[in-house]
Amino acid sequence: MVSFDFTDKVVLITGATGALGRVVARQFHQAGATLALGARDETLLHQLFADLALDPQHLLVGGIDLCQPEDCDRLAHAVEDRFGRLDALVNTVGGFTAGPPVHATPVEDWERMLAINLRTAFLVSRAIAPVLIRSGGGAIVHVSGRAGLAGFGGGAGYCAAKAGVIRLTESLSAELKEHGINVNCVLPGTIDTPANRAARPEADFSRWVAPEALGAVILFLCSPAASAIHGAAIPVYGLGG
């Protein structure tokens, strides 16, 4: 596997307690990055990363709800106050809940899918972009999804939100590339997580994308090797493509 060196680089990972976020955080740590980890569940964050919590080189910020602009601002301020700069934002926050057809979908279910997948991406980008600009450049990687390319029954809100993340990524890229900031997103298919295995026990898990494989693509997009890539939506489907 290709190795990356993020020594002396500060990387912020949101959703660090999630199935993908915790893997990506460890991959960046192994690559030498200084980590700022944000998550909603402060207790779980400190349990999962107890070793980093004791290391003053890193920063753990719990109690962060990316649906709230004040929480996103608090996270941005905490990172800049501690490190004075930021080199990359990796936003892994999101979620999926299957639902009924559009005509039977409660408004609050639709709004929840847009909130946890699209509003979060907008608000954290809004808060963090100025830090990256003041830092002289960097990278933003959002996690969209294959569902952002084509809708499916029972998933209208999720599909619309993930499509919105792609458009948001493109707009951010157009605005920030002149500041030396690369903005891209990844489009995973089904990620091989315990929750997905429990939800679909009959599936062939070997065809799903491993979190580590998706993480490797994210590390690439944050590395100098991806300096010419702007506004891309990278498919990462595993064998399910």
Q: Domain map of the chain by residue range?
A: 10-240
Mean pLDDT of the 138-158 span: 96
Per-residue pLDDT of 162-218, as tens digits, reads 999 999 999 999 999 999 999 999 999 999 999 899 989 999 999 999 999 999 999
pLDDT at position 98 over 90: no
1, pLDDT greater than 70: no
Give the whole-angstrom CA distance, residue 113 versus residue 98.
10
Q: What is the pLDDT of residue 240?
A: 81
10-240 has which CATH code?
Answer: 3.40.50.720
CA–CA separation, 176 and 170 (whole Å)? 10
Supply the mean pLDDT for the chain.
96
Percent of the chain with pLDDT over 90: 94
Partnered with residue 209 across adjacent β-strands are 191
pLDDT of residue 214: 97
Distance from CA of residue 186 to its chain's centroid?
Answer: 9
158 is catalytic: yes
Tokens in use for 51? 């070793």
Structure tokens at 1: 């596997």
Categorize the per-residue pLDDT at 241 as very low, low, confident or very high, splitting at 50, 70 and 90. low
Spatial distance between the Cα atoms of 238 and 48, rounded to a whole number of angstroms = 27
Q: According to the model, what pLDDT value does residue 239 have?
A: 87
pLDDT at 107: 97
Of the candidates 35, 62, 32, 31, the one whose C-alpha atom is nearest the C-alpha of residue 46 is 62
CA distance 175 to 171: 6
Question: What pLDDT, on the 0 to 100 scale, is given for residue 138?
Answer: 98
The answer to whether the beta carbons of residues 45 and 16 sit under 8 Å apart is: yes
Question: Considering only CA atoms, which of 56, 57, 55, 25 is closest in space to residue 38?
Answer: 25
Quick one: three-class SS letters along the chain? CCCCCCCCCEEEEECCCCHHHHHHHHHHHHCCCEEEEECCCHHHHHHHCHHHHCCCCCEEECCCCCCCHHHHHHHHHHHHHHHCCCCEEEECCCCCCCCCCHHHCCHHHHHHHHHHHHHHHHHHHHHHHHHHHHHCCEEEEEECCHHHCCCCCCCHHHHHHHHHHHHHHHHHHHHHHHHCEEEEEEEECCECCHHHHHHCCCCCHHHCECHHHHHHHHHHHCCHHHCCCCCCEEEECHHHC
Q: Which of 158, 208, 214, 232 is catalytic?
A: 158
**Mean pLDDT, residues 78-103:** 96
pLDDT at 31 over 70: yes
Say if CB 20 and CB 192 are below 8 A apart. no
